[in-house]
Amino acid sequence: MALRNLVYSRLIVVFPLLVACKTSDAPDAAAMKPEPVPVVATPIATPKVGTDADRNRVAEGEQAFATRLYAKLPHDGNLVSSPTSIRIALAMTSAGARGDTATQMETSLALQGSPLSIHDGFAAELRDLGSTSSRQTLRVVNHLWAQKGRPFNADFVSLLQRNYAAPLGELDFNSDIDKSRLTINSFIEQSTEHKIKDLLAPGAIAKETKMVLTNAVYFKADWQQSFEPSATVDAPFFVSKARTTQSKLMTTTHSFRYAKTADAQVVELPYASGQTSMMIVLPNDKDGLTKVENAIKDTSIATWASALSSTEVNVKLPRFTSTHHVSLAEALGAMGMPLAFDPTKADFSGIDGKKELYLGDVVHQAFVTVDEKGTEAAAATAVVAVPPTAMPVAPPIDFRADHPFVFFIRDTRGAVLFMGRVADPGATL
């Protein structure tokens, strides 16, 4: 039986008009029955595809963005987020930014190249990321929701459709707030295989809201090398040197890409498709997570990856489930794009020709679960044949993740699909 990972995230960028005020006269949500919104499986316009150079710049920038963002997220308890989801949603938004607002967003999001090449690069990334097979599903779904009857620049709408496969849907935020909210929630739920429900809580959308951009990422995959369920044992997990909790510790021994640094062990566990993998950074010291996290810089992910080489590793990894919900307005402002959140200074005139829009909030939620469900096909990959004449080999290196660690789920180009921290595998935040 192969281990299967299920990861999904949701992100919403809300554009209120001048001020974001909440209303108390929304209709009863239970009485609302919005019509199901079909998931758009194919772009509604011919997708734009960038060059390899455009695609590589997007991946390089994403690693820089991911590590900068990691430093701004809460550093306590479990954590999971999707830099890819956040960056794609904000890249779409940046297409309508102008002047200093656009400059700040491009710098904070680590967007490299001309505006045209930037969006062409994301088009290429979306083309590469979309995949479905018997052992891996990776889906990125974008959508633009606009106030019914409000005019938007045709170039902006066309760019989102062409490069991001983001269709335009009209809703009446002004007079039918809750139906609009439930319609968006229904779409997100379908986009994530019914795993994410109620994205927008009552009151999340105001009458003044004029546009909502949503992005959903859904990822499910088998490990390339299985974790045998019968080998899983109850074992202590050292939340700190002084405190332990019980965990389900899984075991597999195989040739993995591995590295050891002064402060940590690093192992890369590939998924069955060969296109994605999880890189785990395990501090050498049981209380060493803070030191490792403080060392994460723009080049850390690439540096760790470049140091990896194949060797026999005995991996012990706990089952874990983690969720995280956060408003990113403060973090993104601190990363260098405060103008986007300033109602008097933001310039998103590329969206509708006016300077009336600003970012009311950027809300992100992500979920990851690692367990031992798998398929028969995955079990076959665990068989390793050794020739009778093979020379004796050194015993496998032990990689025992029984204390807090950091993880990154990446694709072969280096895009950081998900990242997070496991401080306690038994806790769900």
DSSP-derived secondary structure for 40-80: --S-SSPPP---HHHHHHHHHHHHHHHHHHHHHS--SS-EE
pLDDT of the residue at 14:
64
In terms of residues, how long is the chain? 429
Say how far apart CA 140 and CA 202 lie, in whole Å.
25
The top-level CATH class assigned to 4-21+46-221+322-369 is: alpha beta
Classified as helix, coil or strand, 159 is helix
Of 249, 247, 257, 256, residue with least CA distance to 225? 256
Q: Where are the domains of the chain?
A: 4-21+46-221+322-369, 226-318+392-422
Q: Kindly report, residue by residue over 232-281, the tens digit of the pLDDT.
A: 999 999 999 889 999 999 999 999 999 999 999 999 999 988 888 999 99
Say how far apart CA 93 and CA 359 lie, in whole Å.
9
Q: pLDDT averaged over the chain?
A: 81
Classified as helix, coil or strand, 305 is helix
pLDDT of the residue at 225:
87
pLDDT of the residue at 8:
61
Residue 239 · residue 226 · CB < 8 Å: no
Residue ranges in the chain modelled with pLDDT below 50: 1-2, 17-46, 373-392, 429
Q: Give the architecture (CATH level 2) of 226-318+392-422.
A: Roll (2.30)
pLDDT of the residue at 371:
64
Q: For residue 176, give every residue at least 6 positions away whose Cβ sits within 8 Å of its Cβ, in sequence order, or none.
A: none
